[in-house]
Each structure stands twice: as structure tokens, then as C-alpha cells.
Amino acid sequence: MAEKIIEKIEKLKRERNAVILVHNYQNAEVQEIADYCGDSLGLSRKAAATDADVIVFCGVHFMAETAKILSSEKTVLLPDVHAGCPMADMINADQLRAMKGEHPGAVVVCYVNSSAEVKAESDYCCTSANATAVINSIDDDKEIIFVPDKFLGNYTAEETGRELILWQGYCPTHACIAPQEIKRLQQIHPHAKVMVHPECPPSIRELADEILSTSGMCEYARNTDADEFIVGTEVGMLHRLERENPGKQFYPATKNAVCPNMKMTTLDNILWSLQDMRHQIEVPEEVAAKARKAIERMVNTVS
């Protein structure tokens, strides 16, 4: 059954001149049909550079929105319109404007996990892969507001030595990882390297050998001599790590680190999306024009 669905997807992809962009946290079968599988930064760069007429974005809403802002002339499809992001929902444009009012003159850096309206109120956008580089690019005498992820903001402040004004948002999936789970795995696998995402709380980051974005995890696993890893991020990441590193072992920090929104995309709704050209993502041009400046700074900043 799956093979027939994949055949239909491939046929429609050719007919529509479409490209399928897939986030690292997607289900394994979705990752397997990707033209490009990556993290938010890599996917944004691919969206900006693609010659395709149609982008099928297998991720969550803010990612498809970002692709539309970068490629306004293209059709961007989100296979499941309900695939959102709890962290992105923790701040809106009105709340950010109020925060800016409390800190006049501050530079606003927003994590890519945010709505287009929040990006439009920001000076810079960043991902976990280049947050440190973005902060380092800002003049030392500037106050910096960082939204919405307090954990990524805290990590970035530690890495840069800058004092950041943080919003109190977070990723529920990364917040559910507990230190005792990693310590238990370390006892079972004493030679395993612990790599965790910077969206994790400080108590988890303290246990890590490496703190990395998902693209950074791929690079580290590929280039290090270690052959066992405890992985502190969404469990979908393990499929790509295992596929690219045969012979190496990867253990999820917890099997409960599942983002239900990332799992909404299926082969079926990718097929339906291409068949019916749904669900098309639109961003009002006045919002997109303001957000584009912050996003382009993210895309152009070397991590």
C-alpha cells in the first residue's frame, strides 16, 4: 500500500514541479521520500533557493510560513493544517510589542519557532544552529530581547557572554526529558556520548558531552569516533542518525520525547496535499515584508 502511495506522490511531484522538504523530527516514512531532510535553518535555505513551483513542507506551520515568506511567488503546502507549535503559540505580536515598549531601543531576536507576526516585530531571526552567531553579530552596547524560548536563550547567553532579556516560552517535548533518564542510560551505556538539543533545560544540558542543533547532531555523529550516543531531542531524529551512521547505536534520552504536531504529517496527507493543492499557506504582504528582513538575516548568518 505504501509503495503505491509513494508512486503517486512521485508522479504528482513531477507534474506539479514540486519539492518535498522534511524536518528531521518527521516520521521515518516521510523522511524517506524527502528531496531534502534537515533542520529549520537548512530547510529555510532550501526553500529560498529552490527552482520548484510548489513546496510541500513536512513540518509545522511556522516552518511553512517561513518558506512562503522567503519564496512568496511559490505555492507552499502544509499537508496537515493543524500541525502547529506550542512554543510558537506562547507569544504573539501584541505581547512582543509590549515587551519592546518596556525596553525601548533593544534589538529583538526571535527564534524561528515563532509566528510570522512575531518575526515581523523582530530585528533578527535565528535557529538553534546559528543563534550564537546571530547574537555575536549584534553590537555589544545593544540590549537584546530574545523570544520565545527561554532555554535556547539561556544557552545562547552562556555561549556569548551576553545578558539577554528572555521571554518565558519553551518546547514541551524537550522539557519532558528528565536528568534521571539520562543518568540511567549512562549507567547502561557508559561509553555513550550524550548529545542534547539547546531547547533542553539546563539540568539536561549539564549532562551533555555536546549541545547541538539537529544538523549539528548529524555532523557530530558522522565525524566522531564514538559509536554509541544518547540523544536528547525529539525521537524522530534517531531515524536519520541511524540511516546515516550504520554500525553506530543511538538511544533516545526518553521515548516520551515525541512532538505530536510533527507526527501529523503522513504519506496519505502528503498525497492529498499534492492532489488537491491543499493546504496553501498565505502570509499578508505587509507582515511578510517586515518578517522577511529578520528571516533573511537568519538565512545569511553562517552558523
Q: Which residues contact 276 (CB under 8 A, 6 or more apart)?
A: none
The pLDDT value recorded for residue 301 is 87
User: Is 38 inside a domain boundary?
Assistant: yes
The closest alpha carbon to 259, from 61, 122, 118, 111, belongs to: 61
Looking at the structure, do residues 49 and 12 belong to the same domain, yes or no?
Answer: yes
**DSSP secondary structure of 161-194:** T--EEE--B--HHHHT--HHHHHHHHHHSTTPEE
Looking at the structure, do residues 119 and 66 belong to the same domain, yes or no?
Answer: no
Lookup: cell for 215: 544538523
The pLDDT value recorded for residue 303 is 67
User: Is 217 inside a domain boundary?
Assistant: yes
Q: Could you give the CA distance from residue 80 to residue 282 in angstroms, rounded to a whole number?
A: 15
Give the residue numbers spanning the domain of 245. 177-252
**Torsion angles phi and psi, residue 174, rounded to 5:** -75, -30
The closest alpha carbon to 213, from 235, 177, 237, 230, belongs to: 237
Binned average pLDDT, 10 residues per bin, the chain of 303 residues: 93 98 97 96 91 97 96 96 98 98 97 98 96 97 98 98 98 98 98 98 98 96 97 98 97 97 98 97 97 95 76
Looking at the structure, do residues 166 and 291 belong to the same domain, yes or no?
Answer: yes
The closest alpha carbon to 165, from 106, 98, 120, belongs to: 106
The pLDDT value recorded for residue 302 is 75
Looking at the structure, do residues 155 and 292 belong to the same domain, yes or no?
Answer: yes
Any idea what the CATH number is for the domain that residue 133 is in? 3.40.50.10800
Neighbours of 229 (CB within 10 A): 24
Structural domain count, the chain: 3
The pLDDT value recorded for residue 41 is 84
Q: What is the pTM of this model?
A: 0.95
Looking at the structure, do residues 24 and 76 belong to the same domain, yes or no?
Answer: yes
User: Is 93 inside a domain boundary?
Assistant: yes
Looking at the structure, do residues 202 and 248 belong to the same domain, yes or no?
Answer: yes
| DSSP 8-state code for residue 65 | H
- Could you check whether the bond before residue 148 is cis, i.e. omega within 30 degrees of 0? yes
Whether 92 contacts 287, CB under 8 Å: no
